[in-house]
Structure 1
């Protein structure tokens, strides 16, 4: 009886430490930019003591960026955790399984054919592209006697991503006007957002979070294998469908507003699994929290090292995430979940 209570206390303490870490990262995001703003100026801007002060101007521009980084990082971290659990594939993530490129292709087509130009329009195309890409990958991987094994999913995702990337390039090469609009979105970044755009994606992120929480128990059972899960009375297909819909909503909405950002959904679930173990009731909140921390920190680092300009956060997550993920693989020798 003492051991579960001790473990629960340790995991609760870890969440509390993560919340403090996210608060510190968010404060740094408000402080650092093209110019460093003191905390006194930030507090003055937050409480509108002087609306014309540089602190107020900095808060007005950096606060939406920080909030968006928190939401997108949390969404991508959670999407990766859900996808890895649903597919039992340690390499599953919105980028590797083609969801990001499915969203990208849909947005490109929307810009080229339907002249879309706002986050509200992007999100529907991105969600549709993410859903179709995920269904295509799963359908390809399901062919054959063994069904959608982790290896087949990874191969199908890689092949589908390559094909979708070629289609995106084909559209952009023939439409330079589309390329001018798309190239800034394609890199992946959280700059230039406003609370109006954030409000448009928030319902989709909330729906994805609710579905992920609802699927936590089913994902724990799926980890035992499909045959044993069925023997225990679990609805394997329904559990995967709910988890898949959650991942599509989270990754599609995040990609629609921030562009395709890689490595967050891949690295974060592996990192937090060292502390939480495989149980999704803890893995889900940890993935949300530390995905948000990773993206906020990556955005801050990108602004600091390239001041007065900044490096897009999609580039920074690749620089930070790739070596860290290699370290995780070498240390943990990650296999099928």
Structure 2
């Protein structure tokens, strides 16, 4: 009896993770096909398949799928992967279940830099926002780290969260003040500021893609380190982790991933916050699996939200950042009420 039941008990979490991974892959494929098929005019799935496999440049449906909807879908996948990993890293390095790139001030730093680009340098297109947003995210991360590092204990989780919240509030206030004083900048900024995939293509994605790929690969290697940090700084140090250095590396990766994602699609709230909590239901507390599952889960949620954004206000569409917030707020409240976000 013991020998039969022991493998069953040991295989339970592994089977759950395997089934969960298969479900995430299937869901991502499904929402990608939906993203290619659904828009201002719906296109049958068999036409989508033919456009991908035997592209006909004379067919207007094929042109719409390959030249318009496919780049937008790939942008959604890349931004979702970046934000899912950035949120997981932010929660891991701060040991704060409510941490995400927003609470660390990184998204607000990117937004403030874009405002500066619009007002000072006359930037008007998403492709022009890219480097401003990326630079602003990096500056915000350095600023938060320098504030949190002061004092005898260095950059502790509490100090990182407090410094990030203060920097986020300051940068957000500065950006709002500039926009209120400049009506033209406000009109240019308001569509980017809520987060959107509309009009985003390879011209915006390709410059940011190297940062997303390198940041994602590096983030996936930090699972063991985050597991040890979750035990507490003293225990992690006793097990050989260089705590300050590990937090610095994690913070840099959060800035790279969140900065690149924000540069491409604008600030998208809740995605990096709720996805790590949701995947913990499947993975447990092991950050190696949380990181691996958060990437496709966040991509699936963002692409699905973009599909919903095209449907709810036809013939126009709603910005995807609004849809993610509408979906994310009640989901996160439900997770908190069930106790899933109480601890890391």
User: Shared topology, TM-score over 0.5?
Assistant: yes
Query: What residue in structure 1 maps to residue 306 of structure 2?
Result: 299
Aligned 1:207-218 pairs, distance under 5 A: 207-218=214-225
Q: How many residues align?
A: 337
Match of 2:280 among 248, 273, 283: 273
2: CA distance, partners of 1:90 / 1:7:
22
Match of 2:262 among 211, 233, 255: 255
How big is the shift at 1:48?
A: 4.5
2: CA distance, partners of 1:134 / 1:297:
30
Deviations 1:97-138 (A, max 9, x none): 211111000111122223345555533322221122233334
| Cα 1:157–1:336 shift into 2, 3 Å | farther
| Cα 1:41–1:130 shift into 2, 3 Å | same
Aligned 1:149-298 pairs, distance under 5 A: 150-298=157-305
User: 2:104, 2:161 within 8 Å by CA — same for their partners in 1?
Assistant: yes
Equivalent position SS for 1:91:
coil
After superposition, the CA RMSD in angstroms is 2.1
2: CA distance, partners of 1:328 / 1:139:
33
1:57 pairs with 2:30? no
User: 2:94, 2:158 within 8 Å by CA — same for their partners in 1?
Assistant: no
User: 1:44, 1:55 within 8 Å by CA — same for their partners in 2?
Assistant: no
How big is the shift at 1:69?
A: 0.8
Gaps of 5+ in 1: none
Match of 1:128 among 116, 132, 135: 135
How big is the shift at 1:141?
A: 4.3
| Cα 1:333–1:48 shift into 2, 3 Å | closer
Relative to structure 2, which stretch is displaced further, 62-71 or 252-261? 62-71
TM-score by length of structure 2 reads: 0.91
How big is the shift at 1:202?
A: 0.8
Relative to structure 2, which stretch is displaced further, 118-127 or 310-319? 118-127
How big is the shift at 1:93?
A: 0.5
Equivalent position SS for 2:22:
helix
TM-score by length of structure 1 reads: 0.93
Deviations 1:6-26 (A, max 9, x none): 533431332122101100011
2: CA distance, partners of 1:209 / 1:281:
13
Relative to structure 2, which stretch is displaced further, 164-173 or 321-330? 164-173
